[in-house]
Structure 1
């Protein structure tokens, strides 16, 4: 079995990846730039990467936030010859990775970018809609904030508040003001109707790689903390308030952990020619594991040489749909589907998919 090294494995989401790997019987190594893990490695420091990572390793990159990350780790993966999985949600980072596609395949490695809620899980939700040629996809994230509020996630969210964000409209990336546009999503109980606000996401780049028919891809977030959406909506218009939120972020995180909701969810609204289907997952207390499951499953499959594809892997092929459903079910995460005008129905545990069955 190959070595699995989780960079950022002592952080919130990296720790969740480590926990899922250990629960599956793997023995991942924890890499941290601050020490305290199994190895001291900084994903932005080529020297430490060369010192700590080996050819043939399976590296999970959870060292976010990714918005300002350089391609240093990807450069090393190509040059050294180790497989690389990241849990980035950043559109900019996705563009950096996909621009290197022609270099990744000849290196004989596997690279899985956005192997997390964005975009592996959202791709699975779109696949479960049953619409073969989707034209529009709207994604809504409702985090279980009481359990998921952390500095990395907050930094990622705040990058979109009041800033220009890129979304896919009319078959191309366009710029819109973040957190200014909103949309109401219908979700299963107990989440029900949710007004969420426009943010930037890697889905706008990665989902069209799977479904070229997609003209529009939008990503919306409901903070799931009483009163916080209104504050962020105001901050999107007034820069002074926006700066105050940055300064008081630690207090805001504490408040979110105290007052945030215990149940979260992720939904897609998928439209094709003459059809519309909604698919959503609902997770009481365990929602943050949905971000870790795809990377943990893919890392173990790579380490056990069960992952048969190579090169840059599209997000719908990071994990088999049936395996993902089984893992969600084991954690109490339910997946529902509803056609336009119909009620929500839980998706059967006998889903079939063209994704790689080895996972």
Structure 2
């Protein structure tokens, strides 16, 4: 029996992409948000969808609209500011939950607060189920599996090709700005340790060229060890602008020093304000079509000097289109099929590696390079 899909944030940029992807799948979600006029217009434009007027900051009010087994999809961020009441409402109701966060601190707190309750209720909670960070989880899992029992370390890099400078949404710019002064968790010797964002720079080979990337947060460090417990080290990098990786590392060091000084918050805000410059919303369909995402995972023994045990490259649509498609797929899956796991879990735990790989391929995210075993 199909369960309700409730899309919170449907009138926003990312929410609109998720809604379009759901409608293409012949799903009829209930659209939700706090602006009655905008919701009514959106519902009318899309064949008279059901709609709910709710405030993301009011968990009790949202909880009153949820039933056990409903699928609550939320794109309302930043999640450290607006995400906790929504997750609380889902956990209290025993509803499945999917979000688009890129904030790993939020994901860690979600696990601490709601994993046990969601598991007892038989509900799946899937944080960060978009470009952040499904492609890296998939690439890392494939590389770890193909590398075999000797694999102890994973390095995962996110790259993109095309006019990315003009193709970044306001929400992404805000996340990048905040992220420069927030720590990035890295798994080292089986333990999570917080390091300064961009404190590490690593080269990857992408499309036949060496491209640098800097240390960032990623849920790969949280979820991949559940499937591959032998992994000791996992590090995630961003290489959207390879030539800027080392300047960003220096800028991050300056910003993190400034923020600790008296009045440093204002200084840091001024230093990072240029990152917010740009138009509202996000790239339109024409611009998104010119951008391709590329994710690489390198599995190794963790011993210096050893060659990679496996290397997997995935390439697919731009980050925003990919996020919309992935969240819509997961929502429809949870709404129409029985689940085999519950709690706050990662993509591989939730669906299994083969199902996840096939779902990503259906969105256009394909394996494009790697050793023969990885391409199979």
TM-score, normalised to structure 2, is: 0.77
Residues 1:270 and 2:270 are matched in the alignment: no
Alpha-carbon separation, structure 2, partners of 1:257 and 1:50: 33
User: How far apart are 1:167 and its partner, in Å?
Assistant: 1.4
Tell whether the 8 Å contact from 1:149 to 1:253 is kept in structure 2 after alignment. no
Matched residue, 1:309: 341
**Within-5 A mapping of 1:63-82:** 63-69=76-82, 71-82=84-95
Alpha-carbon separation, structure 2, partners of 1:23 and 1:75: 30
Matched residue, 1:207: 224
Matched residue, 1:238: 254
| Structure 2 portions without partners, runs of 5+ | 40-50, 259-266
Aligned partner of residue 68 in structure 2, secondary structure? coil
Matched residue, 2:375: 347
| One of 129, 147, 157 as aligned partner of 1:131 | 147
Distance 1:244 1:229, change over 3 A: farther
Q: After the TM superposition, which of the residue ranges 269-278 and 193-202 deviates more from structure 2?
A: 269-278
Alpha-carbon separation, structure 1, partners of 2:227 and 2:374: 25
> What root-mean-square deviation, in Å, do the aligned CA atoms of Structure 1 and Structure 2 show?
3.3
**Within-5 A mapping of 1:126-165:** 126-129=140-143, 130-133=146-149, 134-143=151-160, 145=164, 148-165=167-184
Alpha-carbon deviations, 1:112-143, whole Å to 9, x = none?
22222344332221232223454111111124
Alpha-carbon separation, structure 2, partners of 1:308 and 1:101: 15
Alpha-carbon separation, structure 2, partners of 1:327 and 1:50: 30
Distance 1:321 1:67, change over 3 A: same
Residues 1:182 and 2:201 are matched in the alignment: yes
Tell whether the 8 Å contact from 2:329 to 2:359 is kept in structure 1 after alignment. no
The count of residues paired between Structure 1 and Structure 2 equals 339
Aligned partner of residue 26 in structure 2, secondary structure? coil
Matched residue, 2:131: 117
Matched residue, 1:3: 4
User: Highest CA radius of gyration, 1 or 2?
Assistant: 2
Residues 1:282 and 2:315 are matched in the alignment: yes
Tell whether the 8 Å contact from 1:179 to 1:232 is kept in structure 2 after alignment. yes
Alpha-carbon deviations, 1:148-197, whole Å to 9, x = none?
411222222223325433211122122322123200011235xx321011
Tell whether the 8 Å contact from 1:337 to 1:345 is kept in structure 2 after alignment. no
Alpha-carbon deviations, 1:223-280, whole Å to 9, x = none?
338x6546534421333785335433442568x9799983331221122477521112
When you count helix as a share of all residues, which structure comes out higher?
2
Aligned partner of residue 236 in structure 1, secondary structure? helix
Alpha-carbon separation, structure 1, partners of 2:72 and 2:332: 11
Distance 1:139 1:42, change over 3 A: farther
Alpha-carbon separation, structure 1, partners of 2:273 and 2:227: 40
Aligned partner of residue 63 in structure 1, secondary structure? coil
Distance 1:346 1:305, change over 3 A: closer
Alpha-carbon separation, structure 1, partners of 2:293 and 2:268: 25
Alpha-carbon separation, structure 1, partners of 2:58 and 2:342: 26
TM-score, normalised to structure 1, is: 0.81
| Structure 1 portions without partners, runs of 5+ | 349-359
Aligned partner of residue 309 in structure 2, secondary structure? strand
